[in-house]
Chains A and B, each alone.
Chain A
């Protein structure tokens, strides 16, 4: 069984062929490193999986059932969550408020309904504990480290019981110690049976956590293989075109 299967996904923007017949398979609890140079089609592929774009051709299957996403909310309902590069967090709100943003639990006080902060705090404390991250639900996100911010963004995806999480450059622009924290977060998701697609430029990070590696070049999938059978040198060659296909 595959969690996500893409078959022959193509997408063109006018005369530009952004993606050309990409076929991929992702198993439950598998971490896939998606690599490629700028303009190789990574973000187009991510946006197709997330429901932002529709493919010109091709089919997406989740748990072997064909799906069609018209809007991002359709992808979310199918269990796909993205953690954006800029993390999409509100700096002035607390960690708990960010985890629940847009889906706050409410409780009744006679005729009025108010936000249930107790539930928000205890649930997000539980999520942070699950992620083994020292993130405090009451802290304001502005004062948090890069690793904690990632934990908040990832806790959001856990809240919605995601089955596939797409991480867009989660280790760009954070310190070495925090990178280790983020990689632990990814391993944690995997251990909970969640499939992860890790989009990254950083070769060591990808090789540290990825089970499989997929390389895009000029809209074509030029490699999809087990990380153990590949090497950073080979992937670099594939990205630049020095190696045609692997």
Chain B
């Protein structure tokens, strides 16, 4: 009671860094993932092998890359259901071009360009025409996959022209024992963690998701930023699409089917708030990691993969209800 006004104002909200960390959903999800890994190392012979860990690291990277884009969209109060279809569209664009003899780099740039255009269409319809994100991206989910089928005539592509080996190396190879998609993921995570916190764009993403009207009243270019958010989400899907083409060594039109649901699950488990205003890049990564660990453990433990959905579904509900309980305490 004897504190001066200045002392009260100067006091930080959290007394210790521990209570700060313990308050984060991503922290507990991370603990859950670590515990699952430790348990699996003892329960199975197959988990803690270099080969299995390599596979886990590579498999979750694709979902995690897109989950970072999805987290951005969700933090801004939107949703992007079209990412799975953007994956197949970009994979198809790069394969068709490379099969036609174009170099990897030119084809990759063209594929990412297509992804950005798709994202810009999503964003423009949502921001400027004021249509609900759910409806627009649901429409794009259908349209983009259809475009991929038209482009390839629904054929499988497995010959990638002169840069064939380069594409396979970029998507499926490894350096220093780590799969290449993991490098892309780490770079993206670091960059986006900085962007969320230290740039105006990052601040405005969360401001829009928190209170769009307030953001508009303060003079933030809400519409323009929304377009860039959906472009970024599409970009991450495009990046994953290119890497997946290289990893699989062949591209068919059912690539990335229903992937948007796994991606949204990863983002939500990692702490992205579907009401907007909350989410972290590292949360998206940890959420994706947990889903992959669950999937991997079921296989190793010899449990039928039909149970996978049950476990992931339970985890989504547990993660979100945990978040609710935590908010009620505050």
Contact (A93, B203) CB under 8 Å given A101-B215, A102-B218 = yes
Residues of A close to B324: CB separation below 8 A: none
B177 CB–A CB distance under 8 Å: no
The stretch among B8-16, B42-50, B178-186, B241-249 that forms the contact with chain A is B8-16
Q: CA A200 – CA B26 in complex, angstroms?
A: 44
Instruction: Give min CB distance, B278 to chain A, whole Å.
Output: 6
Residues of A109-141 at the interface with B, using a CB-CB cut-off of 8 Å, are 113-115, 125, 128-129, 132, 134-140
Task: Bin chain A's interface residue count.
Answer: 20 to 34
- A139 contact set on B, CB distance < 8 A: 13
CA distance A143 to B200 in the complex (A): 23
Query: Is A114 within 8 A of B12, CB to CB?
Result: no
B123 interfacial by beta-carbon distance below 8 Å = no
In the complex, what distance in Å separates the CA atom of A103 from the CA atom of B199? 12
Q: Give CA–CA (A139, B9) in the complex, Å.
A: 10
CB-nearest residue of chain A relative to B219?
A102
Q: List residues of B (1-19) whose CB comes within 8 Å of A's CBs.
A: 5-6, 8-13
Enumerate B91-127 residues with CB–CB distance to A below 8 Å.
none
The segment from A1-9, A83-91, A223-231 that touches chain B is A83-91
Contact of B11 among A113, A115, A136 (CB under 8 A): A136
Residue B198 at the chain A interface, CB threshold 8 Å: yes
Contacts of A93 in B (CB 8 A): 203, 206-207, 210, 277
User: Of the candidates B13, B197, B214, B219, which one forms a contact with A136 in the assembled complex, judged by CB atoms under 8 Å apart?
Assistant: B13
* Assembled-state Cα–Cα distance A104/B276 (Å): 21
- B5 engages A134 (CB within 8 Å): yes
Which of A89, A115, A134, A138 meets B214, CB within 8 Å? Answer: A89
Contact B9 A88 (CB under 8 A): no
Instruction: Please measure, in the bound complex, the distance between the C-alpha atom of A230 and the C-alpha atom of B9, giving whole angstroms.
Output: 39
B contact residues, range: 20 to 34
Which one of A89, A104, A134 lies within 8 Å of B9 (CB-CB)? A134
Give the tally of cross-chain contacts (CB within 8 A): 83
Q: A73-B219, A101-B218, A115-B199 are in contact. Are A92 and B210 (CB under 8 A)?
A: yes
Q: With both chains docked as a complex, state the minimum distance between the C-beta of A121 and any C-beta of chain B, in angstroms.
A: 9
B8/A91 in contact, CB under 8 A: no
Interface status of A97 (Cβ within 8 A of chain B): yes
Chain B residues contacting A136 (CB-CB under 8 Å) are: 8-13
When the two chains form the complex, which single residue of A88, A91, A114, A134 contacts B199, counting CB atoms closer than 8 Å? A114
The distance in angstroms between the C-alpha atoms of A73 and B200, with both chains bound, is: 20
Q: How far apart sit A138 and B11, CA to CA, in the bound complex (Å)?
A: 8
List 28 interface pairs A-B (beta carbons < 8 Å), by A numbering.
A73-B219, A86-B213, A88-B214, A88-B218, A89-B211, A90-B206, A90-B207, A90-B210, A90-B211, A91-B277, A92-B210, A93-B206, A93-B277, A101-B220, A102-B219, A102-B220, A104-B200, A114-B198, A115-B197, A115-B198, A125-B6, A128-B9, A129-B5, A134-B8, A136-B8, A136-B12, A136-B13, A143-B330
Which 4 residue pairs of A and B lie closest in terms of their CB atoms, listed nearest first?
A92-B277, A102-B218, A90-B210, A88-B214
